[in-house]
Structure 1
Amino acid sequence: MKGFDYLQEQLDQMKDEGTFRELIPLESAQGSRVQIKGKEVIQLSSNNYLGLTSHPKLKLAAEQAIKEFGVGTGSVRTIAGTLKMHEEFEQKLAKFKHTEAALVFQSGFTTNQGVLSSILTDQDVVISDELNHASIIDGIRLTKAARKVYKHVNMESLEQALKETQNYRKRIVVTDGVFSMDGNIAPLPDIVMLSEKYDALIMVDDAHASGVLGNNGRGTVNHFGLDGRVHIQVGTLSKAVGVLGGYVASTQTLKDYLIHKGRPFLFSTSHPPAVTAACEAAVDVLLEEPSLIETLWENTKFFKDGLTKMGFDTGISETPITPILIGDDAKTLQFSDLLFDYGVFAQGIVFPTVPKGKARIRTIVTAEHTKEELAEALNAMERAGKELNII
């Protein structure tokens, strides 16, 4: 069929530049080791921080929910698709997050889109960190609000933006809690202090902090002791929680408003029973098995120390997200391919996901990894890094 020649030209250019990538299907369950192309490799590219994708309690909860309620809900939440379990899970989630209420969306991406697009008008302004997640950027694009972008985690730049926007009805400062490509933590105490000084709302996307930072994995707000001082907390149920979905934790007022105005919530079928039951079981695991988070951080330190000793550049990472900064797109993908040959699955991240010249291998260790597996991965990285003159 004719008509897509202009798209094919761009794809051909990507192939010429060595940046075109096929999807890579896994042939096994997610874990510290996975099977790809018939080969068992160490998994270092998954967001499965705590190994909950295959936790027995989550699997059992999902199975029981299917037997009792079936595989789907048959409707959106606002018509006939709200099961009692949906409301019970949201109540448990709000209690876990130390907020008045919580509302679950179909994904973390749609949560950011739904919140930002519905609560802001042309009378308002949104102030965003320049390295915020794509879902925040797209959510902002869906609003008619004015936009200000401040330099990454730069509080002088943020304060300048706050000073310049005092004539708007509402100002909202939006930041990732943990930045997904660099693994650094937002200076949330400073952001809260400035926002309170200039009477601005605060929204934190804790996608990569949920289940990782704070008591029992409550996120960056709890990690910094700021419960009750951040207006909107967004998170995912698909990374450390191990299942699927996103949520907003805030006031009952915001929840009620989003039920009526949040377009992704209004126009998407609700989560299947198995998903909701598994998510609820995951919160129980976070509360009952804190050793998983302790192991995650022990493994993180072991792996980071190993990379640093070898001479790899891991940037400003403070979390289990540990980038290996290379710069050149093609060389980064070559490194990823070589690692696979040596038994490690670690995907290269290149433009447009990151800026030109900032290509990297983004690794994430999990609580499931053994020290032996991490040592094996480090050996493979040293071998590949020397072969390509990266170290």
Structure 2
Amino acid sequence: MNWIEKELEFLADASLERSLRTSSPVSEAPGYTVREERRLFNLSSNDYLGLSGHPAIIEAMREKLLTEGAGSGASRLVTGNRPPYHRLEEELAYWQNYEAALVFANGYMANSGVIAALVGRGDVVFSDQWNHASIVDGISLSRAEHARYRHKDMPHLRALLHKYRDKRRKLIVTDAVFSMDGDQAPLRELVALKREYGAMLMVDEAHSGGIYGKHGEGLCHELAIQNDVDIHMGTFSKSFGVYGAYICGSRTLIRWLVNKARPLIYSTALPPAVVAGVSEALVVVQGEHWRREKLFALSMLFRSLLGASGFTIGEGDSPIVPLIIGDNDMALRFSGALEDEGIAAAAIRPPTVPDGTARIRFSLSAAHTEKELRDAAARIRNIGLGLGMVKP
């Protein structure tokens, strides 16, 4: 296996090697993390609403842990389908205004399992080229033809739909908010094309659920197009502050997935305590509107501060704020300088993002304060000055 060392050397030379670093939360300061005994302002977490340390969620998990035990013990189709699952799926379907819901272990399993259950050889999937890796891998596992359209390019998608109009089944799949750029998919245009060409539409709300919508339902509800989305996917590991994922759709769809989604069939079910925590988080997400309001205000502030400093940042209003750098090595240097200044923010490099678009992905939380973000923006500007990225 000597070839592995050579490949790792290649990755290191290209500033593309990754490594695991241990971080720990700070219980009394949810917007911070501890790494190598240093307390850092955490601008890398997807804990958008600041719920990962919410006392009510933790208490719900503790209570269920004492009555249901540490693990589920088996797949949901064997003996792992505990009562908390049924309760949560009813709550999710009601929240999203769909007929039924199905909980998965995580977003990767949900996307890969659902896509492979819906299409196969002789079918085609139309996927935005910036969709999450779990979508890309789900398409590969399905063995359907993969027709990638340029990012948010609806004329290109229309041309592909016309080209493959005679395929047996057609599935359009997109992120609602793109995880590395923070911009929104043109969902209304996707609905129109889905209707015109008789395709199924699947929307991944991993980075928009909890944030958009009157009660945090997501971007599809914000735009009032949820009734035209056939497969609604969301996660519990971001705005919910817990772990897991779900699919909402028709009862027929959910029955089909129970029989055909391999990650559901062949995986041990989530621990009941985790499911109970998600149920409690759903109550908080719907009821504590101030978290969404604060998050959007902080996002607007932070974007304006970085833009005023002369940085190139991504468009949008989401809490995902990418600072585009381009060069892989420079992105690593910037991330290292941030850590030296007491800020945790990861350098994102290919293949996660396209070549030449390495970046720092800042991710905001309702746990942050305006003062903390102003202080962080000032330090970020000083780093940019020191690296020659912005002008004095």
Q: Which category of TM-score, normalised to the shorter sequence, fits these structures?
A: over 0.9
In the alignment, what sits opposite 2:234? Answer: 235
Identity %: 37
Q: Does the aligned pair in 2 maintain the 1:27–1:38 contact within 8 Å?
A: no
Q: Equivalences for 1:3-42 in 2 at 5 Å? A: 3=1, 5-29=2-26, 31-42=30-41
In the alignment, what sits opposite 2:142? Answer: 143
In structure 2, distance between residues paired with 1:217 and 1:9:
47
Task: Show CA shifts across 1:337-390 (max 9, x none).
Answer: 001101111110011211211000000111000111111111110111110011
The Cα of 1:18 is off from its aligned counterpart by 3.5
Task: Compute the RMSD of aligned alpha carbons.
Answer: 1.1
The Cα of 1:146 is off from its aligned counterpart by 2.0
In the alignment, what sits opposite 2:311? Answer: 312
Q: Does the aligned pair in 2 maintain the 1:77–1:270 contact within 8 Å?
A: yes
The Cα of 1:22 is off from its aligned counterpart by 2.5
Is 2:371 the counterpart of 1:384? no
In the alignment, what sits opposite 1:122? Answer: 121
The Cα of 1:74 is off from its aligned counterpart by 0.6
Task: Show CA shifts across 1:23-78 (max 9, x none).
Answer: 12113347311111111110000000011110111001000000111111111100
Is 2:99 the counterpart of 1:95? no
The Cα of 1:210 is off from its aligned counterpart by 0.8
In the alignment, what sits opposite 1:332? Answer: 331
The Cα of 1:229 is off from its aligned counterpart by 0.9
Extract unaligned runs of 5+ from structure 2.
Answer: none
Amino acid at match of 2:24: E
In structure 1, distance between residues paired with 2:323 and 2:302:
12
Amino acid at match of 2:259: H
Amino acid at match of 1:50: L
The 3-state SS of whatever aligns with 1:216 is coil
In structure 1, distance between residues paired with 2:150 and 2:12:
33
The 3-state SS of whatever aligns with 1:353 is coil
Q: Does the aligned pair in 2 maintain the 1:93–1:102 contact within 8 Å?
A: yes
The Cα of 1:197 is off from its aligned counterpart by 1.3
In the alignment, what sits opposite 1:105? Answer: 104
The 3-state SS of whatever aligns with 2:18 is coil
Moved over 2 A (4+): 13-22, 27-31, 315-318
**TM-score scaled by length of structure 1:** 0.97
Task: Show CA shifts across 1:157-197 (max 9, x none).
Answer: 11111111221222111111001111100010011011111
In structure 2, distance between residues paired with 1:328 and 1:388:
12
Q: Does the aligned pair in 2 maintain the 1:317–1:323 contact within 8 Å?
A: no
Q: Equivalences for 1:72-83 in 2 at 5 Å? A: 72-83=71-82
Aligned residues: 388
Q: Does the aligned pair in 2 maintain the 1:19–1:333 contact within 8 Å?
A: no
The Cα of 1:16 is off from its aligned counterpart by 3.0
In structure 1, distance between residues paired with 2:344 and 2:136:
29
In structure 1, distance between residues paired with 2:9 and 2:121:
41
In structure 2, distance between residues paired with 1:347 and 1:242:
19
Is 2:272 the counterpart of 1:267? no
Amino acid at match of 1:147: H
Q: Does the aligned pair in 2 maintain the 1:343–1:380 contact within 8 Å?
A: no
In structure 1, distance between residues paired with 2:307 and 2:42:
20
In the alignment, what sits opposite 2:50? Answer: 51
In the alignment, what sits opposite 1:209? Answer: 208
In structure 1, distance between residues paired with 2:224 and 2:199:
19
Amino acid at match of 1:237: F
**TM-score scaled by length of structure 2:** 0.97
Q: Equivalences for 1:179-194 in 2 at 5 Å? A: 179-194=178-193
In the alignment, what sits opposite 1:155? Answer: 154
